[in-house]
Structure 1
Amino acid sequence: MMAGGGVRFLVLILVVAICGAASVFQPISDSHRSAALDVFVPVDGSYKSLEEAYEALKTLEILGIEKKSDLSSATCEYVVKVLGSSSSTLKDAFYALNVNGILKCKIGEAGPKDIVSQLQAGVKDAKLLLDFYYSVRGLVLVKEQFPGTDISLGDAEAIFRSIKALSQSDGRWRYSSNNPESSTFAAGLAYETLAGVISLAPSELDPSLIQTLKKGIVKLFDSIQKFDDGTFYFDEKSVDASQGPISTTASVIRGLTSFAASESTGLNLPGDKIVGLAKFFLGVGIPGDAKDFFNQIDALACLEDNKFSVPLILSLPSTVISLTKKEPLKVKVSTVLGSKAPALSVKLTQALSSKSVDSSVINNQELKFDADSATYFLDSFPKNFDVGKYTFVFEILLDDSAHEKVYITEAQTKVPIAATGVISIENAEIAVLDSDIGSVESQKKLDLTKDGAVSLSANHLQKLRLSFQLTTPIGNAFKPHQAFFKLKHESQVEHIYLVKTSGKKAELVLDFLGLVEKLYYLSGKYEIQLTIGDASMENSLLSNIGHIELDLPERPEKAPRPPQQSTEPYSRYGPKAEISHIFRIPEKLPAKQLSLVFLGVIVLPFIGFLIGLTRLGVNIKSFPSSTGSAISALLFHGGIGAVLLLYVLFWLKLDLFTTLKALSLLGVFLLFVGHRTLSQLAAASNKLKSA
């Protein structure tokens, strides 16, 4: 009914690209819930294996998605079958118990007893880490699902030491004592297994063993990887390359949360790295692979419900603030799965402008809390807050004594913010100037917010000047990302010029005397168009100003001609003309009759060779009669025939290199069998002479 596990993908490059660029992290939302229904799709009402079934059901359970009854029924049938069979593998039994913990299948009384015996035997005979893992964790599941079942573990401390023997000095673990290489993924499995041993032990274990494990956890965190934005993750170094950073990090988190839940002395882990691990899983978005999807959601669920520290994530609905609409800055603080955060306060400590990182336009402002939307907001900005890019620095203040759980967050959360607004465009005018003295011959005022019908005329001895002023909502100078001036001739030839800004004023002066060659000496009507755009500018524009009639000199003979324009403006994006390649014309070959005559001349020596053999009286009376000698002679003559056949193939089909390779092999073969054949003939001749 179900086959082996699904395909796993290596996603390190993708994760590095996403997390390396991420700055704002959003908790799990409805987009994940929608995607889960597309990723975890059963085939014919069931999943391929119990492992896939557990990962799908666990993910749906964490996300609060209701499971289909027909799926639960079909899966439960297989669970009962596995738990009722004494021939089931430890892995199948382990995942069957995991699935049963979610679906609450109807297991008979004999089922737990049979499976307990199998798991206890697995612990006793285990040599590999995975065997310990499936057996011990399976017994933990039996203890949770079937209270009162006898699940005695035997000598728990001896089992603990057997598993501990697989640990390494760097905090990683081996899968077996025969394998010298260690694995970070295996470390997570080991800590989960040891947590199970602690919970199943009939009495408290030696405290020194627990302390040794804690030192190993500290060593393991020394090998953690980090991105520039404070994101942390674990990855494999050499062994088990099939495990990517998502599955490896999830394994470590599961192991640590299980270990922290099983021992009473507490586990003190660095808060910044726990938040960084949460940011890692939130930063990968929505994985398309089912295994990665499960690891992401399960790891975040472990982080949200653990005994050392629950990370809180600060997120913004939008990182764009409109000063025109006077939108308030909204901030939300929640757990990684989107649950409501405990009582806290949020402070905006700084808002740094990207133009000058030393200038802070906002300092130490407490955000107000809206209970209805569970968001914090800043509804007013200081007068010096202008359009542009900023880095907002937030602090979350927690009262640890008021919470049952230990919550952690970043000391400072930096968020890039873009402030937009309406840019004022004033004093816009266009003028034709005299080239010699710069006096204004004609000048027009412009309203760039709408298309105009300006009509100008000029000759090659004059200039054209365009000028305007750009100011921000609070009156500061504004320099746009794009400001282009375009002249378009009636023949569709276009010329684009950059409008430079200095302070509040933007100006462009075109000297037609120096541009006549670039304008291809084309007189006539030119349409005038101005483009101004910027990410912070809410009123970016593309304005058709009007036209200008240019009177330019006649084009000299050697002057460049204007490029040919297509009648269809978008034809440049269409398919290009097909490029046909003409091979070299074949050289003349001799006539067919001449080639046949030449072939006959080549064959004549071979015919002469055959005639010569008959004249010499060749016969096979001297062919060896003994078995060994006859075989050598046959192989020798066969080899000669193979060489002749190779020559024929070379003439008809083979190339020189292939022929030489085959000939070298046949030559070695002929050398061996020929020497043997001639030696046997010489020995027979000597015997004949002696007789």
Structure 2
Amino acid sequence: GIISRLNAAVSGASSLLDFYYSVGGLVLIKDQSSEADVHLADAEGVFRSVKIYLGRLRPTISVELAVDVAFSQSDGRWRYSSNNPESSAFAAGIALETLAGIVSLASSEIDQSLISTLKNDIIKLFDSIEKYDDGALYFDDKLVDGHEYQGPLSTTSSVLRGLTAFAAVTAENLNLPGDKMLGLAKFFLGICVPGDAKDFFNQIDSLACLESNRQGFSLGSFNVGVSTVLGSEVPSLTVKLVGAFSSGSKDASLVESQELNFDKTSGLHILNDLPKSIDVGSYTFVFEVVFHEPEHEEVYFMGSQTKVPISVTGLIKVENSEIAVLDSDLGSIESQKKLDLAGKNAISLSANHLQKLRLSFQLTTPHGRSFKPHQAFLKLRHESKVEHIFVVGNSGKQFEIVLNFLGLVEKFFYLSGKYDMELTIGDAAMENSLLVAIGHIELDLPEAPEKAPRPPPQPVDPYSRYGPKAEITHIFRAPEKRPPQELSLAFLGLTILPLLGFLIGLLRLGVNLKNFPTKPVPATFAVLFHVGIGAVLLLYVFFWVKLDLFQTLKLLGFLGVFLVFVGHRILSHLAAASAKLKSA
């Protein structure tokens, strides 16, 4: 079957792309079908055949798997085949994705020394990363062969796709530099208008890789750099974190004063770990700079303290979510349902104007503290497109909103029917902001009084106004019924009858050619005149058979000028000959 053919293709692969497509096919089958037994019997051997030279290290591997020269290079780049001496970062991304597929197809654990060697190659690859002035980082290959050059976007996307695939199948952290990962993210976010559909796919797919895979990328430490206003170096000093405050709060500092470690290599002051009191949210960090030598304070001026706004992002846990319909008088629960705000919901409720709707949920940070987002809205949209938005309030960890329909009938314009419910929870520090459809509620409201306000006119949908119009299908009327064939033939005979009479008359009278010119020039004009008459008759036939009126008139114009010219010459000759005959 297909699996055996792909396994055979892996065994017979001699180039990087051969391994990539055959291994990728097996991984795709494994992901799509849980019943299929898809694995590589000698996954470690295939891994070595892609990574290193087998002729020396794996004499037991079949000849088909042998590669004359290693695909991987010392700088972290890869080659497509042993016949191509040029290496590229784009091929490195393909190789990482291929090796990740081999690891996922392995029936036993791959030798960790091979994994460690590959991790070192990844670190070397990042040494060749390039940088824009705005801090965006990208991979690019030198233009050696036009059909193999991919450009910075495709090359960077290939590397990032390979890193994500490899990080997903390895248990250890890749420990990639956080500043470089942020630089790659800045590169993809800075692409405003992709060149084509392929570039758009690479951009979105790369951003999805950065968003979904977090375990392989280390965000590093908190670094502080100190320089003069012109960017030059400053003398030896100490940087202290003297306070950290929640934005908009006047409470006490969340951290104790601590000194940052100075790294002589990078020239940065480093805070290795954020204090545990710092959770998801916006903060203001207060730093203080102290010179080691007192005389430097007379040369350099530094404010007493420097305040730096810091935003800490993270995943917020949404729990204890439920929605209920309450009786207005007693407050008892008539119907209550649990919600999964992180998944899909299709809640169906019904209520009248004497009841209430209650929605509640809790938001907690990774450290278990309550979280208050910037936005928490509940939207109800009537089937007539009329929308109503309500702010969800909170008390501590609990967020709750209660809608008393008796007091909202006028705001709802007395519109009964189906209302779709949508919840919005968003914050700049909340990485999993929500815009989720909860379901719908069927409201039974009283009839509108005579002077009740009417719903506002809804804006015209731009798509219906400026979008493509409905296709116009034109139906031609049925052709009129034709006369019988016998009648048509009889009419044709009557039409041709005068022509037949003319021809018969010519045959009975005979043709008189004694006045035909005998001299060469007049005879030529006479022949051309009769040819022109014949051409007009032939054009008449073509008009009925093939040509339209405009084509016929255009050709007739040229023939008419020709006939006037030659006809005038031959008639002038005949008139002159007749005058000589009479004078004689």
TM-score of the superposed pair, with normalisation by structure 2: 0.40
Larger radius of gyration: 2
TM-score (norm 1): 0.34
